[in-house]
Amino acid sequence: MTSKSDSSVPTEDMSFVYNSADQMVQSVRGPPESGTVLGLYDHNHAGLRVRHRLGSGIGGYRVGRV
């Protein structure tokens, strides 16, 4: 997995983790090692993002285009 960072707020890190197919699979607020997971993302066989699981993956999720 590859981690890329970007933030519109200079004092707060946002990290986005990508798999080998360059698909975003996780977003994290704070340092990648100890930050808060904001979402986990699943992709279908065509490479489209089809599911967003919130936080730790427990709780709601949305199926469809996200």
Mind listing the pLDDT tens digit for each residue in 8-66?
666 677 888 888 898 999 888 887 678 888 889 999 888 888 888 876 544 444 454 44
Domain housing 22: 2-63
- The residue whose two tokens read 């197919």 is 21
Q: What pLDDT was estimated at residue 5?
A: 61
Q: Count CA within 13 A, CB hemisphere, residue 62.
A: 8
The total domain count for the chain is: 1
| Contact criterion met (CB below 8 Å) for 36 and 30 | yes
Q: What pLDDT was estimated at residue 60?
A: 47
